[in-house]
Chain A
Amino acid sequence: MTDRVAPLSVHPIPDEITGPWWEATRESCLLLQRCVGCSHVQHYPRAMCTKCAGTDLEWIEAQGIGTIDSFTIVQRPPSPAFEVPYVIARVCLAEGPTMLTKIIDATDEELVCDATVSLDWEMLSDGHQLPIFRITNPQ
Chain B
Amino acid sequence: MTALTAIVGAAESDLGVTNASILTLQSQAITRALADAGLKISDVDGLATSGVSRFSATQVADYLGIQPSWCDSTFAGGSAYEMYVARASQAIAAGQASTIVISFASNQRSARSRSLGGVVESHTPEAQFESPYGPLYPLSYYAMAAQRYLHDYSLTRADLAQVAVLAREWALLNPKAYRHDAGPLTIDEVLAAPMISSPLTSADCCLVTDGGGAVVVTSLERARDLAKAPVQILGYGESTTNTSMSQVPLLPTGAAASGKAAFARAGLTPADVDVIALYDSFTITVLLSLEALGFCGPGEAAALVASDRVRPGGDLPLNTSGGGLAYCHPGQYGVLLLVEAVRQLRGEAGARQVPNPKVALAHGTGGILSTHATVLLGVDR
Contacts and interface: CB of A to CB of B under 8 A. Distances in A.
Given A10-B122, A90-B144, A74 B127 contact: no
A130 B133 contact: yes
30 contacts: A8-B132, A10-B127, A12-B127, A12-B128, A12-B131, A13-B128, A14-B128, A18-B125, A43-B129, A70-B144, A70-B145, A70-B147, A72-B198, A72-B199, A73-B195, A74-B140, A74-B196, A75-B196, A75-B198, A76-B116, A82-B134, A86-B134, A90-B144, A90-B250, A97-B246, A99-B129, A100-B244, A100-B246, A113-B152, A130-B133
A13 B123 contact: yes
Contacts of A89: 144
A136 interface: no
Nearest to B250: A70
B197 A100 contact: no
B137 interface: yes
Contacts of A59: none
B262 to A, nearest CB: 27
B348 interface: no
B194 interface: yes
B354 to A, nearest CB: 36
B294 interface: no
Interface of B: 115-118, 122-123, 125, 127-137, 140, 143-145, 147-148, 151-152, 194-200, 244-247, 250
Interface of A: 6-8, 10, 12-15, 18, 22, 43-44, 46, 69-79, 81-82, 86, 88-90, 97-102, 112-114, 124, 130, 132
Contact of A113 (B125, B130, B151): B151
A95 B167 CA distance: 43
A75 B196 CA distance: 5
Given A71-B147, A100-B130, 14 more contacts: A12-B129, A72-B144, A74-B134, A76-B197, A78-B134, A78-B135, A78-B137, A82-B134, A89-B144, A90-B246, A90-B250, A100-B129, A101-B133, A102-B133
B368 to A, nearest CB: 11
A46 B128 CA distance: 12
Contacts of A114: 151
Contact of A72 (B125, B140, B244): B140
Contacts of A12: 127-129, 131-132
A119 to B, nearest CB: 14
A78 B250 contact: no
Contacts of B115: 78
Given A100-B129, A113-B148, A77 B250 contact: no
Contacts of A15: 123
B205 to A, nearest CB: 11
Contact of A88 (B117, B123, B135, B200): B135
Contact of A44 (B128, B151, B194): B128
A74 B136 contact: yes
Contacts of A132: 133
Nearest to B194: A75
A73 B115 CA distance: 18
B86 to A, nearest CB: 27
Given A12-B127, A79-B117, A112-B151, A74 B132 contact: no
Contacts of A79: 117, 134
A9 to B, nearest CB: 8
A114 to B, nearest CB: 8
A103 to B, nearest CB: 10
A77 B135 CA distance: 8
B245 to A, nearest CB: 5
Contacts of B195: 73, 75
Name the 9 nearest CB pairs between A and B, nearest first. A78-B117, A72-B143, A70-B144, A12-B128, A70-B148, A113-B151, A73-B198, A82-B134, A44-B129
